[in-house]
């Protein structure tokens, strides 16, 4: 029988400390039921969300902080500069203080810094000026990283292919190396919208310099590069400093395969194994949920010219993707008649995903 303190006497300082530590551990430690056989108990992964998950709301940073506090998440990833009413340092430092008071870590992201990408825009100046702005904003916000992207899968078919776009991105990154190091900011390059396969992104990070460049890992985007996200993470995990994560359903189609992103626990990814590896590799990196659901994209790999964009793809990586497609099934798509329907759908998808992460996968450090 478990020995209990005598409740008839005043609580001693030792008893108080013991009870406090036990209560803290209960919220921070993953129960053994959520771990594979033989795995040691470890701190829960930090849980948060990427604001793109609720993009239809059109919320600015203060409203996103309110929502994050309501959801009791550990971290908020604001992944676009348009979410800020001002880019001035005083405004950003006020947000930083407010987030600190709420117990929420802030992470910052922005868009393409590859000047030759089809999606690059000069709204924030040149690629170098854009990157410098993001680094300064990350410093003011207290974000340890600045997420950036190269482009999309269409860049694989531009002159010189994805390797030429990677070289351009590396040059921009290196132009801001000292600025990032002085600010203490890691630049996190995302595997974004099918632009780079895992080995290509690892090459980019290592060419730019691992002392200031890392990876924002996106599990859904790994499927858009014909990869199993678990296999992709095995390559990129050691570089991962930030995340944008969701589940996905993959199934065979007439021309190849289709990918449809889903809420967590509603696709065919092996999330339990994925997050066990995640916890072993980068246990202090937050899990940011970025649900983008309701549509499917086809990858017609049975067509003759499809592979022109993937001259260095590995058969073993593609075989793992095919295994996903074998166990997936088609899902219905969604259309919205009114903006409020889309808003409600996005909030539901995110909140359902956070519940799954907490209740099934044992994530989150806040009660």
Q: pLDDT for 298-348, tens place per residue? A: 999 999 899 999 999 999 999 999 999 999 999 999 999 999 999 999 999
Cβ contacts of residue 182 below 8 Å, gap of 6+?
none
Reported as type and span, the H/E element at residue 50 is strand 47-50
User: What pLDDT was estimated at residue 367?
Assistant: 66
The ranges assigned to domains in the chain are 42-247+269-293+347-359
SS3 content of the chain, % helix, strand, coil (to 5): 45, 15, 35
Residue 266: count of CB within 10 angstroms of its CB: 20
Q: Is the pLDDT of residue 5 over 70?
A: no
Mean pLDDT of 233-237: 98
| Architecture of the domain delimited by 42-247+269-293+347-359 | Alpha-Beta Barrel (3.20)
Tell me the sheet residues that pair with 103.
none
Q: Is the pLDDT of residue 2 over 70?
A: no
Model's pTM, two decimal places?
0.89
- Classify strands 247-252 and 257-262 as parallel, antiparallel or unpaired: antiparallel
For the record, the structure tokens of 139 come out as 């410093």
User: What pLDDT was estimated at residue 124?
Assistant: 96
Q: pLDDT for 254-281, tens place per residue? A: 999 999 999 999 999 999 999 999 999 9
**Phi, psi of 158, deg, nearest 5:** -85, 165
Residue in the block written with tokens 């406090």: 20
DSSP notation for 191-257: --TTS--HHHHHHHHHHH-TTTEEEEEEHHHHHTTT--HHHHHHHHGGGEEEEEB-EEEEEE-SSSE
User: What pLDDT was estimated at residue 223?
Assistant: 98
Query: C-alpha angle with apex 316: 315 to 320, nearest 5 degrees?
Result: 115
Q: How confident is the model at residue 10 (pLDDT cuts 50, 70, 90)?
A: very low
Q: How confident is the model at residue 42 (pLDDT cuts 50, 70, 90)?
A: confident
Rounded to whole angstroms, how far apart are CA atoms 225 and 281? 22
Q: pLDDT for 174-218, tens place per residue? A: 999 999 999 999 999 999 999 999 999 999 999 999 999 999 999
Q: pLDDT for 43-70, tens place per residue? A: 899 999 999 999 999 999 999 999 999 9
CA 196 to chain centroid, in Å, comes to 16
Q: Is the pLDDT of residue 15 over 80?
A: no
């Amino acid at each position: 029988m478990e020995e209990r303190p005598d409740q008839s006497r005043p609580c001693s300082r030792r008893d108080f400390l013991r009870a406090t530590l036990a209560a803290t551990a209960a919220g921070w430690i993953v129960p053994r039921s959520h771990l594979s056989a033989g795995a040691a108990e470890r701190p829960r992964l930090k849980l948060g969300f990427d604001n793109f998950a609720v993009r239809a709301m059109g919320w600015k940073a203060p409203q996103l902080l309110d929502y994050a506090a309501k959801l009791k998440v550990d971290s908020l990833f604001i992944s676009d500069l348009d979410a800020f009413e001002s880019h001035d340092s005083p405004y950003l430092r006020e947000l930083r203080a407010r987030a600190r008071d709420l117990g929420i870590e802030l992470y910052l992201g922005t868009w393409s810094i590859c000047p030759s990408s089809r999606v690059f825009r000069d709204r924030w100046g040149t690629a170098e000026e854009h990157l410098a702005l993001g680094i300064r904003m990350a410093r003011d916000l207290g974000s340890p990283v600045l997420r950036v992207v190269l482009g999309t899968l269409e860049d694989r078919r531009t002159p010189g292919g994805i390797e030429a776009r990677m070289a351009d991105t590396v040059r921009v990154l290196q132009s801001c190396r000292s600025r990032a190091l002085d600010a203490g900011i890691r630049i996190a390059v995302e595997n974004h919208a099918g632009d780079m396969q895992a080995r290509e992104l690892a090459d980019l990070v290592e060419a730019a310099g691992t002392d200031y460049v890392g990876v924002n890992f996106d599990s859904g985007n790994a499927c858009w590069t014909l990869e199993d996200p678990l296999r992709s993470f095995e390559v990129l995990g050691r570089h991962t400093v930030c995340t944008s994560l969701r589940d996905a359903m993959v199934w065979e189609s007439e021309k190849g395969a289709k990918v449809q992103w889903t809420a967590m626990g509603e696709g065919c990814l092996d999330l339990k194994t994925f997050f066990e590896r995640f916890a072993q590799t980068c246990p202090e990196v937050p899990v940011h949920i970025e649900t983008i659901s309701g549509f499917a994209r086809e990858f017609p790999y049975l067509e003759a010219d499809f592979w022109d964009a993937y001259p260095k793809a590995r058969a073993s990586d593609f075989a793992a993707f095919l295994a996903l497609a074998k166990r997936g099934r088609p899902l219905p798509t969604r259309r919205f008649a009114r903006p409020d329907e889309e808003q409600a759908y996005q909030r539901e998808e995110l909140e359902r995903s956070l519940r799954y992460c907490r209740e099934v996968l044992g994530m989150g450090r806040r009660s």
